Amino acid sequence: MKKIGSLYDKYGTIVVLLVLVLIVTSINPKFMTMYNILNVFRQVSINGLIAFGMTFVILTAGIDLSVGAILGLTGMILGLMITSGTPDFIAIVAVLLMGALLGLFNGVLISKIKLQAFIVTLATMTAFRGITMIISDGIPAMNVTSNAPILDFFSQGSVLGIPFPMILFIASFLILLVLLQNTSFGRGVYAIGGNEEVARLSSIPTDRIKTMVYVISGFMSSLAGVILTSRLSSSQPTAGMTFELDAIAAVVIGGTSLLGGRGRLFGTFIGVLIIGVLNNGLNIIGVSAFYQQFIKGVVILLAVILDRKNSQ
Amino acid sequence: MKRISLFVLALLLIVLSACGSGNDKGDNEGEATNDDGGNGGTIALLMADLGNPFFHVLSDAVEEQGKELGYEVLVYDGQNDASKQPSQVEDALQQGVDAIIINPADESSTANALKDAIAQDIPVVTVDREVDIEGILSYLVTDNTKGGELVGKWLEEKMPEGGKVIHMEGIIGTAPQRERGGGFLSVIDPAQNSDSKFTILDTAVGEFSMAPAEAAMSDMLSKHDDIDVVFAQNDTMAVGVVRAIETAGREDDGILVLGFDGAKEAYDLIDEGKMAATAVQDFEFIGAEAVNYVDTYLKDGTKPEEEVLVDVFMSDEK
């Protein structure tokens, strides 16, 4: 019995995902076409990258509300740089660095000045969005990819028939998985989330690790911003609003505890797919907009309740 | 640390206030603002969301006509947050403005604040959306229902043999979503108009913004391979729809994309042959007309019509 319980604990979210896929497919088999599966992966990649970074933050018992604003700001700068003639490769590298720097700013405030992550990232979320509005004057940059083949590749490109955003999604997952499971940094992340004081006393560099998780989160958000800008061929000053909520939802559905110390990146991977399959599947079945929101809310609740039951 | 942050805060406030007064000077051009009505008065313009580039057409029109008639125009941006606007109205009253032109974020949030203005006999004109109170000088709005019908009729003329339609809706429950969609469906939906040769293949929600519209459209492209027409209830969504078609490599399906607003992006896409047409809201007219109403009222107390519906027109100019 205990064994079944622990199996369920490990694979519970996968069961939710499979049941969802089965229901949607049985109502409209078009869901299972290769075309649509690639479509789903292309769509989830943005939330996925943000949610991976968010997983690291939440594992340390932190939270990063500024991810959507970082996506918006770096995406806007990317669009403005390219439309004013900067080569796209340079612009992309610049905004990725910038995403990491914005994360570093969050991380230093939280780890060195000991401010609460919720408050710091709530403030920077507002400030970063404000900067986005100031530099763009509230006006989107249009036709960003028309002379930017590298940026265009980020959403339109594919390798051996696999869309590039999907490759980025899976590659980041694998790299971050190794970082979290097989390095002392990863063990430190779990240790801090478990008990920060104990971690500090065991001579784990807690401040540095806590700063680093926000750097990762900022970097992943700006990478998601590059994909979104490429997808829309446009930088919207409002891009990324409420994205933090989808990312947090994916992390929590995936079984990571908001209290930190417990959870897995693979869970987030499945959580992201559950949200993606819900969004896409409800459209494919043709559920009306009113019911869509309700169903999404119920599924998130169910997934979390299942997970809570298993962990008790 | 505390002392440093206090110092930085003080510095920031000083710099900001300097910026603010600098701007004022620019707008006034040294003219005294403190008279009651007529030339040289002040109009507060409260916009619901200047994040939507299309609304800059409206605010620019108000500013231009204001300058023309000798008013200083103070612009407030509600940043698409209905809870911000009431305090902006109060701020404007504090500043002693002579008139208020407001593009409300919704029908009720600013009602109480605007009642104070009306009680002080300050004329209030609402543009693009109504506020549910007595005593508003005038309410100028695009006739969205008629606009939706116009899109439908244009489509009937363009495709007399009919076709299969995807209806991309805005934020569910908002007036433009209900009215534009209602007008369009009253012509195109066979359930409402038995003469229609069209069928509504599917309805998707794009929330009046680009990213959700792009995602919803890519789902629609997965689901259907026989789409003839997409009607997006605003141009921002139409741009997302066009992008989804490109991403899916389905440009050769010959899908006709229709938008609503008359935004610059739409004209660009029409130029490139990627969009068929857009229903143009005459924001330049609405903005200028709002200033005219305020001006005549302040000068001789003449009241305009309480509700003015402004027609849209279709544009497929290349």
ipTM (interface predicted TM): 0.83
B111 domain residue, yes or no = yes
Flag if B205 and A234 touch (Cβ within 8 Å).
no
Evaluate if residue B252 carries a pLDDT over 80. yes
- Report the CATH number that the domain containing residue B37 is assigned in CATH: 3.40.50.2300
Q: Please tell me whether residues B220 and B190 are part of one structural domain.
A: yes
pLDDT category of residue A215 using cuts at 50, 70 and 90: very high
Do B169 and B198 lie in one domain? The reply is: yes
User: Does any domain span residue B12?
Assistant: no
The verdict on B148 and B131 lying in the same domain is no
- Does B16 contact A at CB distance below 8 Å? no
| B200 contacts chain A (CB < 8 A) | no
Instruction: Identify whether residues B152 and B263 lie together within a single domain.
Output: yes
* Angstroms from B76 CA to nearest CA on chain A: 13
Please indicate, yes or no, whether residues B207 and B305 belong to a single structural domain of this protein: no
CA–CA separation, A215 and A223 (whole Å): 12
Predicted confidence at residue B37, as pLDDT, reads 43
Q: Which range, A43-57, A224-238, B41-55, is most confident? A: A43-57
Question: CB–CB of B35/B41 below 8 Å?
Answer: yes
Spatial distance between the Cα atoms of B243 and A152, rounded to a whole number of angstroms? 12
Pairwise CB contact (< 8 Å): A138 & B53 = yes
- Nearest of A64, A57, A39, A50 to residue A222 by alpha carbon: A50
Q: Residue B168 has what pLDDT? A: 97
Q: Is residue B292 part of a domain?
A: yes
Our count of domains for chain B comes to 2
Task: Dump pLDDT digits (tens) for B11-41.
Answer: 666 666 655 544 443 333 333 334 444 457 9
Q: How much is the average pLDDT of A77-97?
A: 96
Q: How far is A133 from chain B (nearest CA, A)?
A: 8
Does pTM top 0.80 for this prediction? yes
Determine contact: B214 vs chain A, CB below 8 A. Answer: yes
pLDDT of residue B25: 35
- Chain A positions in Cβ-Cβ contact with residue B203 (cut-off 8 Å): 288-289
Band of residue A2 on the pLDDT scale cut at 50, 70, 90:
low
Looking at the fold, whether B117 and B148 belong to one and the same domain comes out as no
Partner residue facing A237 (CB), from B51, B172, B248: B51
Question: What is the average pLDDT across A124-146?
Answer: 91
For chain A, which residues lie within 8 Å of any Cβ of chain B, measuring from their own Cβ? 28, 30, 33, 35-36, 39, 42-43, 113, 133, 138-140, 142-143, 155-156, 228, 231-234, 236-239, 279-280, 283-284, 286, 288-290, 292
Subunit contact A43:B215, Cβ cutoff 8 A:
yes
Same domain, B150 and B267: yes
Based on the fold, state whether residues B130 and B149 are members of the same structural domain: no
| Residue-level pLDDT at B173 | 83
Contact B214 A232 (CB under 8 A): yes
Contacts of A36 in chain B (CB under 8 A): 222-223
- Does the residue B318 lie in any domain? no
Claim to verify: residue B253 and residue B188 sit in the same structural domain: yes
Task: Look up the domain containing B217 and give its range.
Answer: 144-280
- Helices and strands, counts by H and E, chain B: 10, 12
Torsion of CA A125, A128, A129, A130, to 10 degrees: 120
Q: Count CB pairs under 8 A between chains A and B.
A: 79
pLDDT of A116 > 90? The answer is: yes
- Do B171 and B273 have their domain in common? yes
The answer to whether position B302 is within a domain reads yes
Query: Do both B153 and B238 map to the same domain?
Result: yes
Q: What is the pLDDT of residues A285-311, one digit of tens each?
A: 888 877 888 888 888 888 777 766 655
Domains of chain A: 2-311 (1.10.3470)
Contact state of A290 with B247 under an 8 Å Cβ cutoff: no
- Greatest distance between any 2 Cα atoms in chain A: 64
CA-only gyration radius of chain B, Å: 22
Q: Is residue B8 part of a domain?
A: no
Residues B247 and B212 in one domain: yes
Say if B245 falls within a structural domain.
Answer: yes
Confirm whether B88 is domain-assigned.
yes
Q: Give the pLDDT band (50/70/90) at residue A6.
A: low
